[in-house]
Amino acid sequence: MTAQPFTPLDLEIFFLGGLLFATTLTVYLATHYAGPYVVFAYNCFFKPISASEKGSQLSGQQAALESFYKGQAAIYDATRSRLLRGREEMMALAAAQLRLKNEREGFKKRVWVDIGGGTGWNIEQLNKYMSVPDNFSEVYLVDLSPSLCAVAEKRFQKLGFKNVHVVCTDARSFRLESTGEGVERKADWISMSYSLSMIPDYYSVIDSLSNLLSPAGVISVSDFYVQSSTNISAKTSVTGGVLGRHVNWFSRQFWRIWFEFDRVNLDEGRRDYLEYKFGTVLSVNERNVLLGGIPYYVWVGCPKTALHNTDALAKFDAAATNSPYLSPVRHEETRNAVTTTLTANTARQLRSKGFEAAVLNLSVGLPLPSFFYQNNHFRIYYNELLEKHTQFNNSYIYAFTWEDARVDQRLLKLNSEDVVLAITSAGDNLLSYICDASPKRVHAVDLNPSQNHLLELKLACFTAVLPHDDIWQIFGEGKHPQFRDILISKLSPHLSSRAFQFWLERTNVFTNVNGGGLYETGQSGIALRATKWLFRIFGVTAHVKAMCAATTLNEQLEIWRSKVRPVILSQWLSWGLIGNERFLWKALGVPVNQRNMILEDYYMREQARGNYIKSGNGGNAMWNYVVDTLDPVVENSLLGSDNYFYLLCLQGRYTKQSHPAYLAPSNYKKLTTPGAFSGVRIHTDEINEVLARLKPGTLTVAVVMDSMDWFDTDGIEARSQIRRLNSSMKVGGRVLLRSAGLTPWYTKVFEEEGFTAKRVGTRNPGTCIDRVNMYASTWICTKRKDVPAERTRSGSVENLQL
């Protein structure tokens, strides 16, 4: 549907509404905040802005700015804290990037240029995050308003900042003085705080800044914006993420007109051009809820050519596909290689989607995808707007991993030469593999972007070398009161832009004192919250705590049998929840194919006992499955010290005695060692898509959890994936899988496609297959021979979606 043009009546309504808003705000401010806010309201809402003033030598844009700011320069800082949101976050994010550069490249004093710096508030505020005198050789505040510059001069004289220079000039003409040898000097950091939207000729200013910034420099911006989703979809390979970027039609029109009264222009082209001229490192889209939901953004970037003249693209691509690194990829070579990369089948099979997106961007002069400008290249590019990703509604399903990594390691015996592909889930098992064996390469694969955001957060905490106590609070207890500050000032340089914004939107998960913390979020959190309420309703909360604190199996078993089991496995609960397929099993998302495997095993077992039933007993089958799961767990593993899976489910947090391997103090040093995650690649895609792009014969281990149970028994999806596993694996490579069935049908397909399938674990009634005991069987399928590779068009030009 095409938006209709404005009519005179529309404009009149907007004007009257804006006037009413301004009048109401003025009365409110005059009543509650005498002085500065009255001056602010008058200058912003009622005083006319003139492009020339009587007796003044100023003209044009400078005269207009002076007309606007002269009357409020003295009270500017006192009245902008609530309006200009995101400035402190922008400073903190840029400071974090600069600190990381100092750690990696060696400390040096840098040159900072603050464009449109006004009263110098930004420069003073930076001292919260890094010392201005100690970290910068020179700081230049560039602004066109003489009144604001005068306030800045007084500020820095009072602060004693000898290295700060206030320059009242047009940003387009600002240049750093050349060195004695005539070499043009460059800025290490350029910042713009709510100035880009006030610059009429923003094209030339942004162009000049791209020339001013050093090749390894940082640029950061915070400002107002409006943008429609229809103008975003074509830019997903350039932006740092579209979460919260769309502004609805009414807000777009209202805020555009409202801010134009003060010559503030919210045209989306300003931000688009900024993202065209620079590479995006971090991007955040927010709303100033206090003042009616004004849209604003915080953005951190770098020169878009930062990687064009290095071999980085080839290295990244080789790491993503297990291919050998052969030669550098130069900018010109990349342009010439676009056609062959996207049309030659052999080349296509060995190219990651990130590489394909990169060469397409370069071919039309765009920056590389944001993932390439990150400081850590864990995450592989993906198109977040595809339906296969948006179906998860920007939420993870599992806040913790429901697989026993200790059994995985016992069965697989991973070592430092292994190349592992595994489903991400919450990432706990992948970190356990790294703790135990440090595989050469770990490919984490999940179709849900949010599951990979969770893994990224864990990697970032260790890469940033957070103190173990902070990591424990975040992931052991699921709460940390300072999580937002830690995320911005310490973790942000180690996260992809999309993961950073995801967690910035969810800081309350960790900081809300009344919330349940990390493990009561996601769909798995629904089950934990329901369990907690169930315990409260039936009055067994204290008994559950006692069972978790038991120091012997006998003590634990006594509490289970006498107090807790009669509630959890009561007849009422069986009828209303566990035995009710419509309520419980569909709510938990157990796929119909996996449910059918459970039913088939139940019917076979009953027939062996002489009970010939075939249908109508689905509730009994599910009930027996749950009983066979829970009873042996309590009878064979001590929750308080050796079964963190159920301990977490019962109390919503881990303990220092029972937790995943990555939280153990003994593994902290290994996981915080530089390069500990250099072999990790996080793919947001289907397993088949990732396998199709790996170099044949390089994968040694694949851990696919119970995902094979989801395939249709009469479909081709299972065979297709098994063939691709065969192609990607070397002979002797192993696939570890778990199943809700004792003898899953697809093990025969493995046999037909070059594997030997062996059941290495069986859950019989009364026994435990592992500490989770959720699955009926565990299998290892070992590749014994190559089979012809399946032809696919998944990487073709027609299906390539960027």
Per-residue tokens: 266? 């919210």
Amino acid (one-letter) located at 307 = L
Tell me, yes or no, whether 404 lies in a domain.
Answer: yes
Domain that holds residue 194: 83-303
Tell me, yes or no, whether 442 lies in a domain.
Answer: yes
Nearest by Cα to 367 from 261, 239, 486? 239
pTM of the model: 0.89
Q: Which residues are registered as beta bridge partners of 683?
A: 445
Residue 741 carries which DSSP code? S
Task: Indicate the residue among 279, 303, 327 that finishes a domain.
Answer: 303
Amino acid (one-letter) located at 629 = T
Residue 468 neighbours by CB under 8 Å, 6+ apart: 665, 668
Both 110 and 38 in one domain: the answer is: no
What pLDDT does 619 receive? 65
Tell me, yes or no, whether 156 lies in a domain.
Answer: yes
Both 185 and 258 in one domain: the answer is: yes
Both 349 and 426 in one domain: the answer is: no
10 Å Cβ neighbour count for 561? 13
CATH number reported for the structural domain that contains residue 719 in this entry? 3.40.50.150
Burial of 90 (0-12, 13-18, 19+ CB in 10 A): buried
The CA-CA-CA angle for residues 511, 513, 518, to 5°, reads 55
Alpha-carbon distance of 594 to 159, in angstroms, equals: 68
What pLDDT does 315 receive? 66
Both 320 and 271 in one domain: the answer is: no
Give the burial string for 518-554 (b: 16+ CB within 10 Å, else e).
bbbbbebbeebeebbebbeebebbebbebbbebeeee
Sheet containing 136-143: which strands, arranged edge to edge?
164-168, 136-143, 110-115, 187-193, 213-224, 294-303, 278-288
Tell me, yes or no, whether 378 lies in a domain.
Answer: no
Both 342 and 326 in one domain: the answer is: yes
Tell me, yes or no, whether 493 lies in a domain.
Answer: no
Both 136 and 248 in one domain: the answer is: yes
Contact 424, 451 (CB under 8 A): yes
Both 692 and 772 in one domain: the answer is: yes
Q: Kindly state the helix (H) or strand (E) to which residue 444 belongs, with its residue range.
A: strand 441-445
Per-residue tokens: 277? 């001229």
Both 57 and 132 in one domain: the answer is: no
Which residues of the chain carry a pLDDT beneath 70? 1-80, 180, 307-316, 323-350, 571-590, 613-619, 789-802
Contact 625, 598 (CB under 8 A): yes
First and final C-alpha spacing in the chain: 25
Number of domains in the chain: 5
Nearest by Cα to 463 from 643, 319, 676? 676
- Main-chain dihedrals φ then ψ at residue 570, nearest 5 degrees: -75, 160
What pLDDT does 159 receive? 95
Both 244 and 164 in one domain: the answer is: yes
What pLDDT does 569 receive? 80
Q: Is the dihedral of CA 73, 78, 83, 87 positive or negative?
A: positive
Task: Indicate the residue among 634, 651, 668 that finishes a domain.
Answer: 651
Contact 703, 421 (CB under 8 A): yes
Instruction: Please compute Rg for the chain using Cα positions.
Output: 30
Residue 173 carries which DSSP code? G
Both 63 and 106 in one domain: the answer is: no
From residue 567, alpha-carbon distances to 525, 555, 631 in Å are 20, 18, 13
Burial of 604 (0-12, 13-18, 19+ CB in 10 A): exposed
- SS3 letters across 300-368: EEEECCCCCCCCHHHHHHHHHHCCCCCCCCCHHHHHHHHHHHHHCHHHHHCCCHHHHHHHHHHHCCCCC
Both 109 and 147 in one domain: the answer is: yes
Alpha-carbon distance of 129 to 336, in angstroms, equals: 44
What pLDDT does 345 receive? 40
Contact 283, 384 (CB under 8 A): no
Alpha-carbon distance of 273 to 59, in angstroms, equals: 27
Task: Indicate the residue among 282, 303, 324 that finishes a domain.
Answer: 303
Alpha-carbon distance of 727 to 738, in angstroms, equals: 22
Both 322 and 251 in one domain: the answer is: no
Per-residue tokens: 783? 């590749």
Alpha-carbon distance of 300 to 327, in angstroms, equals: 30
What pLDDT does 158 receive? 95
